[in-house]
Amino acid sequence: MKGVGVRPAELKRLTVAEAADRYGELVRAKVVTGALSPATAEVYARDVATFVALAGPDTVLDDLTGEDVDAILLAFARKPDGRRAAPQTGTQAGSQVGAQAQSAASQARFRRSVSALFKHATLAGWVQLNPMALATVTARERGGLRAERRALTREQARGLLEAARALEPEPGRRRDQRTEMRDALIVVLLTVVGPRVSELVRANVEDFYVNDGVRYWRIFGKGGRTRDVPLPQDVAAMLDAYLARGRPRTREKALLLSWRGRRLARGDVQAVIDRVVRRVDPARRRSVTPHGLRHTTATHLLADAVDMDAVRRVLGHGDLSTLGRYRDELPGELEVAMRSHPLLRPARPAE
């Protein structure tokens, strides 16, 4: 969110498309003067055109926030790159179904192009605050675009869970094509249990069992290791409802199926999350990946003083030291910790 303040009188309320056109004129002028090579100018032009398409040409440039920029950068990262199409056969030929996502270098380059656009926009008075300064997505040449802080805050996580539980059938879909129960289960399992996305799509119906009235998920993790994680009651109820009414009748063993009865792939899971995120109240909405939801699970369990070894076993880590990479800072966390300091609590009366 941008800080509240008086908008300067000289600020130009340009749309994204208008700003891109004016910036394009500047880039072309630099080519004429020799300050920029034609090849570099072509790359800038292509990236800015993509930015316009992702941001929306009629969006006012100054209305874009750091969260908006994050969403645009991550949307570009997932955008199929036709130049890196995977081998295709049959009906996939000639389509983008088999195309791979953008390379790490392309993602970093796109971020630099967008940053250059906003740097000029700030100097030209098109924006009162450069949203790149508030963006949390950073460019890594080897790892691509990653959010610095991946875990959702408690409010953001609750908003996502509420949106998942409130999913309704899409208009016009036949009963056998409805996936809202499956999609809700995907988001809830990722947010509450924190499995790796590979563990989720690999899960079979038989991996879920009941012992002494508690529903467990036997997760097959890295290195052939397994772990049995108990599910909270409401999550177990969602699972049972999905198995009874939401999962297609098929001999396929996979827990998560497309409406055609095929096991979901990793990319399908991200598409499900994106659909649910769009239904979250904008005040609590933030783009997130399956791995970001795994960070969310770890962060909030640890912030709530859950035993570190228990959290390690839930996530399937070999040792406690690995948890440090999954523990993100939360806004206001230190203030809450100091307000409830154990040494300042009233002493319990002697019994």
Please say if 222 is a catalytic residue. yes
Residues 142, 107: contact at Cβ < 8 Å?
A: no
Rounded to an integer, what distance in angstroms lies between the CA atom of residue 188 and that of residue 116? 39
Catalytic pick from 22, 78, 263, 291? 291
Rounded to an integer, what distance in angstroms lies between the CA atom of residue 224 and that of residue 219? 10
Q: What phi and psi, each to the nearest 5 degrees, are found at residue 83?
A: -75, -15
* Cα dist from 203 to 173, 258, 336, whole Å: 26, 14, 38
Catalytic pick from 202, 286, 294, 300? 294
Residues listed for the chain: 351
SS3 130: coil
Please say if 317 is a catalytic residue. yes
Instruction: List the structure tokens of 144.
Output: 């691509």
Instruction: List the structure tokens of 331.
Output: 């806004």
SS3 261: coil
How do residues 29-46 score in pLDDT, each as one tens digit? 988 888 878 888 888 899
SS3 31: helix
How do residues 248-263 score in pLDDT, each as one tens digit? 888 899 999 988 888 9
DSSP state for residue 246 in the 8-state scheme: I
Instruction: List the structure tokens of 175.
Output: 């009963």
Catalytic pick from 83, 222, 225, 253? 222
Cβ neighbours for 259, distance < 8 A, ≥ 6 positions apart: 176, 177, 178, 179, 248
Superfamily of domain 154-331: Intergrase catalytic core (1.10.443.10)
Place of tokens 């924006």: 127
Amino acid 104: pLDDT: 81
Instruction: List the structure tokens of 304.
Output: 């709530």
Catalytic pick from 111, 146, 196, 247? 196
Q: What is the 3-state secondary structure (H, E, C) of 31-75?
A: HHCCCCCHHHHHHHHHHHHHHHHHHCCCCEHHHCCHHHHHHHHHH
b/e for 179-188, b at 16 or more Cβ within 10 A? bbbbbbbbbb
Catalytic pick from 111, 286, 300, 317? 317
Amino acid 94: pLDDT: 38
Residues of the chain with pLDDT under 70: 1-11, 81-100, 138-149, 169-177, 321-345, 347-351
Evaluate whether 16-86+100-147 and 154-331 have a shared fold: no
Rounded to an integer, what distance in angstroms lies between the CA atom of residue 269 and that of residue 289? 9
Amino acid 324: pLDDT: 66
Amino acid 165: pLDDT: 93
* Cα dist from 41 to 28, 97, 222, 253, 293, whole Å: 7, 30, 45, 52, 38
Q: Could you state, in order of their start, the residue ranges of all structural domains in the chain? A: 16-86+100-147, 154-331
DSSP state for residue 263 in the 8-state scheme: B
Catalytic pick from 23, 44, 242, 326? 326
Q: Name which CATH class applies to 16-86+100-147.
A: mainly alpha
Please say if 300 is a catalytic residue. no
Amino acid 93: pLDDT: 37
